[in-house]
Amino acid sequence: MPAHAEQILISTGRDDWSSKIEDEPEGEVVREIKKLLGRGGKMSDSYHNVMITNSSFAPTPSASGSGSSAFLFPSFKYIPDVPTSPSGVETFLRAHVLPSKLHTAHSVLPPDLQRNLLRQPELQSQFPAVRPVDEILVLICGHGSRDSRCGTLGPLLRDEFTDQLSAQSIPIMPSPPPASAPDTIVSPSARVGLISHIGGHKFAGNVIIYIPPTMTGHALAGKGIWYGRVGPENVEGIVRETIVGGKVIQNLFRGGIGKGGEVMRL
C-alpha cells in the first residue's frame, strides 16, 4: 500500500477516466490539488502524503452547478460542495486536508512556511454541509484506461460485492448524499464504487474497504483495509470475514490505515 495520510475521493459519476485523471476535461479540482500538494507546490509536505482518486460515485447536485463533491479518508468526512476555483480548492485543502500538527522535521522552517503547511480549522465554517461518513465504503480499482486487468475485474467485483452485501442484509446506498442535510443512514449500510488507479496493477483486483468509526464494537471501525489479487470468488469471504466479522484476510492484505493516519501492517 502506498504510504499516505489522507485519500481524497472525487465524485465523478463515471466508471473510467483518462490515464492521468488530471487530464479529464472536468478535472479542475484534481489539477489544482496536484499543483498545490505536488512536488514544488506551496503546500507540498513529504510527511503528509495525500492520495487523489476519482470515483464512480455521483456528486451531490450543487445549487450553483459549479462545485464538486469529495470523500476524505481516513477522516471519514463527506464534502458535497468542493469549489473548483483555484482559491476555493486552496481553502478546501487548508480547512480539511492539511495536517493539524506538523512533523518535528518542520521545526527548522520559518514560521510563515510552517503556517502554510498547517490546517486552519477556522476555515471549515465555509463548508457548512460537511457530514461524517457513517456507511461502509467498498472501493474497487476499475481504471481500464490505465490497465486492462482493472478495467475487466472492477465491474465484476462491484457487482459481486453488491450482491454479497445485500445477502448480508446490508443495504446499498445508490444516490449521493444531499447537500442540504444529512441523509438517513441505515446502519450498517454501504456504498460500492469504482475508483481510479491506486498503484499496484500487479495486485489486480485491488479493493479498499473503509469501516466507519460509528460501527462501534467492530474491530476495524475507523480503519481502511487494502486488499490485492481479489477475484469474484473471494468476495463472499471478504464480506463475511472483514466487513461483518472485523477480521483481516492475511493472504490478500496489502496494508491498512487508521483514523489517525497510522499505517497498519500484519
pLDDT in tens, the chain (266 residues): 988 999 999 999 999 999 999 999 888 999 999 999 999 999 999 999 999 999 999 999 876 666 789 999 999 999 999 999 999 999 999 999 999 998 999 989 898 889 889 999 999 999 999 999 999 999 999 999 998 999 999 999 999 999 999 999 999 998 887 665 555 555 789 999 999 999 888 899 999 999 999 999 999 999 999 999 999 999 999 999 999 999 999 999 999 999 888 888 88
- Provide the grid cell at 102: 506538523
What H or E segment, with its residue span, contains residue 91? helix 86-92
The cell 462545485 sits on which residue? 67
Residues 6+ apart with CB under 8 A from 200: 206, 228, 254
Task: Check: pTM over 0.85? Answer yes or no.
Answer: yes
Residues 6+ apart with CB under 8 A from 237: 249
What H or E segment, with its residue span, contains residue 136? strand 136-141
Cβ(207)–Cβ(138) below 8 Å: yes
CA distance 8 to 239: 24
What H or E segment, with its residue span, contains residue 22? none
Helix (H, G, I), strand (E, B) or coil at 227: strand
- Residue 60: how many CA atoms within 13 Å on its side-chain side? 20
